[in-house]
Structure 1
Amino acid sequence: MKLRNREGTAVDPVPFLVVTGVAFAIAYSYGPLYFAALGLPIGYGVAVSTALFLAATAGTYYRLVWTHRPVRREEVPVGERFERLVLATVACVGVVALLALPLAM
């Protein structure tokens, strides 16, 4: 798969595919059950989950492909990138834990 940013430079597709895959897994594993717990029928829950997944995919494409600048990696120090990775991991674990709360009660 050859992805190009808005300047025509080739972009590594792996980050986009990983984030999109995680968005798919979260949207369809939590979404319909979460919305059913809130009183929506399963069909509507799947439709809302699909809309959220498509919005997440569009945002991911815009951030990781369309506006990607390969030179930026050289501008940001390694320590700062690692700190952002750790904070993003903690945030994702927290979001998954919060999503699981209504299902556990």
Structure 2
Amino acid sequence: MSRPDRSRLIRNGRGEPIDPVPFLVSAGLAFMLAFSIGPIYGLAYGISLSTSLAASGLAFLGIVAVAHAQLVRGAPAVDAGPLPAAPRFERLLYAAIAFGVVLVGLTVPLL
């Protein structure tokens, strides 16, 4: 009995095989951040623990949905070659701005 080739199991929106590692790493980091920061800040805002955990779960699912759209459904095929520098820089810039907004939002309960 032969094992299936795992790289062929994950496909983008066009049906081409893709590398699943960036999505898995993003989903793992989203889980770690949502459930390590979310409940603490929810409690700082005076929200109950169960509501904070539910909000963290919703945040995690939202981040995973965006990551899936970007890193799986819209991903180029493995053999497509590297992306040009301009789109990569633009994505990095948008990610840095979003990260800055999140950091500013996390400091609000501390004021």
TM above 0.5, yes or no, is yes
| Matched residue SS, 1:10 | coil
The two structures have a TM-score, normalised by structure 2, of 0.71
State percent identity of aligned pairs: 37
2:46 maps to which residue? 39
1:58 maps to which residue? 65
Residue 56 of structure 1: CA displacement?
A: 1.0
| Unpaired segments ≥5 residues, structure 2 | 1-5
Runs (4 or more) in structure 1 with deviation over 6 Å come to: none
Identify which of 61, 82, 85 aligns with 1:78: 85
1:68 maps to which residue? 75
| Matched residue SS, 2:46 | coil
AA aligned opposite 1:68: A
Alpha-carbon RMSD across the aligned residues, in angstroms, is: 2.5
Identify which of 27, 39, 48 aligns with 1:20: 27
| Unpaired segments ≥5 residues, structure 1 | none
AA aligned opposite 1:52: A
AA aligned opposite 2:16: T
Instruction: Give aligned pairs, total.
Output: 102
* CA distance in structure 2 between the partners assigned to 1:51 and 1:87 by the alignment: 22
1:99 maps to which residue? 106
